[in-house]
Each structure stands twice: as C-alpha cells, then as structure tokens.
C-alpha cells in the first residue's frame, strides 16, 4: 500500500513537472517571438588579387624559430636573429608582393593560426613578427654600416601597417596600430644617423606622407567598428538568446550608431576636448538593456578617436625629425626654429610642424649644438622632454630626438 502511494506521488510529480515545462516553453517562445531578421552588412568588395591574401599567405609560411625578434637601440642583432631572418626570406618576399597590391581586409575576419609545425602563432601575432623581421633586417644593415639599406625595411613595415589599416576592419585597424608603432620607433632612431644621405631622408619623408595620405579618416574607422558590431548583434544566434533578457538587435544597432555619431562629432574638436570628454563622460542610466549595451560600447569609440589623434601626432613628429636632419644636411647647420623647415622643397611632401594634439608647433630647442624635438604627449603636459620609461609611473613626453647624454 505504501509503495503504491509512493508510485502515485511520483507519477503526479512527473505530470506536474511536465505541465510546468510545457507552460514554461510556451511562455519563453511567446516572450522571444520569432527570430529577428539578421542585419544586412554590406561587405567591401575584395579584389581578386588582394594584398591581404598575400599577407595571410606570408603568415602561413612563417617559420617560428622560437627566437625573440625584439631588438634594443644600440644592441647588435644576434646570430640566432640573423638565422631567423635567413629562414624567413620567402616570407618577407611574399609580404613585399602584398605591398604592391590593393589591400582589403574582409569584414569580421577572425585570426587563424599558422600550421602546427610552424609554431601555431595567431595571425595578428605573426603580423607583428613579420614587422619585427623587417626591423631585424634594418638593424643588420645598420650594424654593417649600410645605413641607406636600413631605411627600406622600416618603410616597408610602415606601409604594411597602413595597408591593413586601409582595409577598414576593426581587427585590422588594431593590428595596424601595433605594426606601425614598431617601425616608427626605429625610424626615429635611424633618423638621427649622420650617415644617411639626402636621397634616403627625402624618400623616408615621401613614404611617411604616403602612409598619412592612405590612412582612412576617423569617420571611416568608426564606421568599420559600427559595422562589425552590427554584424555581431544582428546574427540570429545573438538575437534569439538576447531577446530573453530584453535585447533587440535592431535597437542595439541603432543605439550603437548614435554612439558612433557622437564620437564622429567629437573627432572634429581639439584633442584637449576629446581627452576631457573621455575623463568626464557622465553615466547615463537607462532601463533599456539594448541602450545600456550600446553605452558600454560608446567609451570605446571615444578612445578610438583619442588614439587616432596620438598616431597622427607620432607620424607628423617623425616627419619633422627627418626634415630637421635633411635641413641640417643641406645647410650644414640646424634650423633656428621649425619655421625654417618650410623652405625645404620635397616632391610629394606637404610638411606640417603643427602637433595635432596641441594645435601648436612641436617643441624644438637647440642645446649645445644638438637639439630637443618632442610632443607633450597624451597628457598635454610638458615634462621637459622626459623620455618614457616602461614599467614606471613617471610622466613622459613623446620624444623624437634628444641631445646625447
């Protein structure tokens, strides 16, 4: 009798649980509604002979020797780095073929790994390794006294980053920033070399101008970020799960576009206002999960604007450095002020001595027959030309040249 009651109780529990499950499933379906249609994203037209494909093929054949390819100014390259460069001659040849082609980065492209036998390095890491190979190639030429031959690899690295940036893909853009930073630092160091001739300095200025001209405007970069986000939130998988918590793909995409438009308007203002807007951005509360998600993305757009200002400042400052050295070579003396550089006639180069961060000329002063050239940097405070020391909290400027100490 007791067993019978237990069995009836269990059966009743199963029936009640089943009914609740059916009711819950009906409620969830009603709550979710039909899956939202995916947002249509117009992808850029990819040329048949795409430079980006050649870059990816260079990644695929990259030989990871396990050697640290990073270098320090004044430190000769090692025998292991020299050997790694020799093993990757084919890789650099493929990269340079890509530089001759139009480059379109497919939207939403995801990093892939190199073949397992070749280190399994993720694509973005391998792109940086390719640039480091170019730096090693440049350093090798410099160590051997072939200073003119040290310039082209660094300029190839700059072009490589610019090519990825022109692809207008959010992933490609971040890759480009990292890649450009490496040869820019090396170019600044090499720009101080007294063994470079007038032709090499003028050519470096022309390539820097070419990179600057080919860099997409900030509105296009923000639009690329917006398209990538729209493609993500517009997928059916995101839409079905998101609607359970009240997310709507179209509402999110529309709110993201509002944040994008605010960032575009902010980019038209001076950098000081951009910095202030980032530091004092008010918290805007909303009960809409969709708008709340978009407002989490908004600060990223504004930081993108700030980074764009800083990169323009670094490239312009590197141009001014080469112009100072070219003036010194032509006239046998340093310019008394940066205004003297306006007399330089370099085909294809429209030199600007104005720092985009401050909208004033870069800081330049002569000291004991040498000179300081620097930007106050992102904090907009002049620290007297203090160079950045990584791993410390000391304030710093972006120094392009400082007197030998």
User: Can you tell me the distance from the alpha carbon of 383 to that of 376, in angstroms, rounded to the nearest whole number?
Assistant: 7
Label each residue of 160-174 as H, E or C: HHHHHHHCCCHHHHH
Contacts of 70 by beta carbon, 8 Å cutoff, 6+ apart: 132
Whether 104 contacts 46, CB under 8 Å: yes
User: Can you tell me the distance from the alpha carbon of 120 to that of 107, in angstroms, rounded to the nearest whole number?
Assistant: 23
The DSSP result for 284-329, as a single string, is ---S-HHHHHHHHHHHHHHHHHHHHHHHHHHHHHHHHHHHHHHHHH
**Would you call 363 helix, strand, or coil by DSSP?**
strand
Each domain of the chain, given as residue ranges in start order, spans 33-196, 220-306
Q: Cα(first)–Cα(last) distance of the chain, in Å?
A: 99
In this prediction, residue 358 has a pLDDT band, given cuts at 50, 70 and 90, of very high
In this prediction, residue 119 has a pLDDT band, given cuts at 50, 70 and 90, of very low
CA proximity to 190, closest of 73, 96, 81, 75: 73
Mean per-residue pLDDT for 352-379? 92
pLDDT reported for residue 110: 43
pLDDT reported for residue 21: 74
φ, ψ for residue 399, nearest 5 deg = -95, 125
- With vertex at residue 70, the alpha carbon angle to CA 104 and CA 169, rounded to the nearest 5 degrees, is 20
In this prediction, residue 167 has a pLDDT band, given cuts at 50, 70 and 90, of low
pLDDT reported for residue 53: 86
Continuous segment of H or E residues that includes residue 361: strand 360-361
Continuous segment of H or E residues that includes residue 366: strand 363-367
Mean per-residue pLDDT for 119-136? 79
Whether the predicted pLDDT of 17 surpasses 80? no
Residue range 285-306, pLDDT digits in tens: 555 655 666 666 667 788 888 8
In this prediction, residue 223 has a pLDDT band, given cuts at 50, 70 and 90, of confident
Residue range 33-86, pLDDT digits in tens: 555 555 455 555 677 788 888 988 898 888 888 888 988 777 888 999 999 999
φ, ψ for residue 358, nearest 5 deg = -110, -15
Higher pLDDT pick, 114 / 94: 94
User: Can you tell me the distance from the alpha carbon of 33 to that of 43, in angstroms, rounded to the nearest whole number?
Assistant: 29
Mean per-residue pLDDT for 374-403? 85
13-22, 104-113, 191-200, 344-353 — which one is most confidently predicted on average? 344-353
Percent of the chain topping pLDDT 90: 26
User: Can you tell me the distance from the alpha carbon of 274 to that of 261, in angstroms, rounded to the nearest whole number?
Assistant: 14
User: Can you tell me the distance from the alpha carbon of 135 to that of 71, in angstroms, rounded to the nearest whole number?
Assistant: 8
For the record, the structure tokens of 257 come out as 């576009």
pTM of the full structure: 0.77
Mean pLDDT over all residues of the chain?
79
Whether 327 contacts 341, CB under 8 Å: yes
CA proximity to 372, closest of 399, 339, 402, 397: 402
pLDDT reported for residue 14: 76
User: Can you tell me the distance from the alpha carbon of 29 to that of 118, in angstroms, rounded to the nearest whole number?
Assistant: 48
Whether the predicted pLDDT of 404 surpasses 70? no
Mean per-residue pLDDT for 309-334? 91
């Amino acid at each position: 009798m007791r067993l019978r009651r237990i069995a009836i109780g269990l059966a009743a529990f199963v029936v009640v649980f089943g009914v609740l499950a059916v009711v819950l499933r009906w409620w969830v379906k009603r709550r979710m509604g039909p899956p939202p249609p995916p947002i249509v994203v117009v992808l850029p037209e990819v040329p048949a002979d795409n430079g980006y494909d050649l870059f990816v093929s260079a990644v695929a054949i990259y030989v990871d020797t396990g050697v640290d390819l990073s270098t320090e100014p004044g430190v000769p390259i090692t025998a292991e780095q020299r050997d790694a460069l020799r093993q990757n001659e084919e890789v650099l040849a493929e990269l340079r073929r890509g530089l001759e082609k139009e480059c379109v980065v497919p939207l939403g492209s995801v990093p892939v790994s190199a073949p397992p036998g070749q280190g399994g390095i993720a694509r973005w890491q391998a792109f940086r390794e390719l640039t480091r190979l170019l730096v090693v190639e440049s350093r090798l030429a410099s160590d051997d006294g072939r200073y003119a031959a040290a310039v082209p690899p660094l300029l190839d690295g700059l072009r490589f980053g610019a090519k990825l940036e022109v692809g207008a893909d959010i992933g490609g853009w971040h890759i480009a920033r990292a890649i450009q930073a490496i040869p820019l630092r090396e170019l600044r160091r090499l720009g101080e070399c007294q063994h470079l001739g007038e032709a090499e300095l003028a050519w470096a200025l022309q390539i820097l101008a070419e990179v600057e001209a080919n860099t997409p405007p900030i509105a296009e970069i923000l639009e690329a970020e917006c398209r990538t986000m729209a493609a993500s939130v517009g997928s059916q998988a995101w839409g079905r799960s998101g609607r359970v918590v009240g997310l709507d793909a179209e509402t999110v995409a529309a709110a993201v576009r509002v944040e994008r438009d605010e960032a575009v308007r902010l980019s038209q203002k001076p950098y000081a206002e951009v910095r202030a807007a980032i530091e004092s951005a008010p918290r805007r509360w909303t009960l809409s999960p969709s708008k709340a998600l978009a407002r989490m993305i908004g600060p990223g757009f504004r930081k993108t604007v700030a980074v764009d200002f800083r990169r323009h400042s670094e490239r312009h400052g590197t141009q001014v450095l080469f112009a100072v050295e070219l003036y010194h070579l032509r006239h046998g003396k340093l310019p008394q002020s940066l205004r003297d550089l306006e007399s330089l006639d370099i085909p294809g180069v429209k030199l600007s001595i104005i720092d985009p961060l401050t909208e004033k000329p870069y800081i330049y002063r002569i000291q004991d027959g040498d000179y300081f050239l620097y930007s106050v940097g992102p904090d907009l405070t002049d620290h007297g030309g203090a160079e950045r020391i990584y791993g410390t909290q000391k304030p710093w400027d972006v120094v392009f040249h400082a007197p030998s100490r």
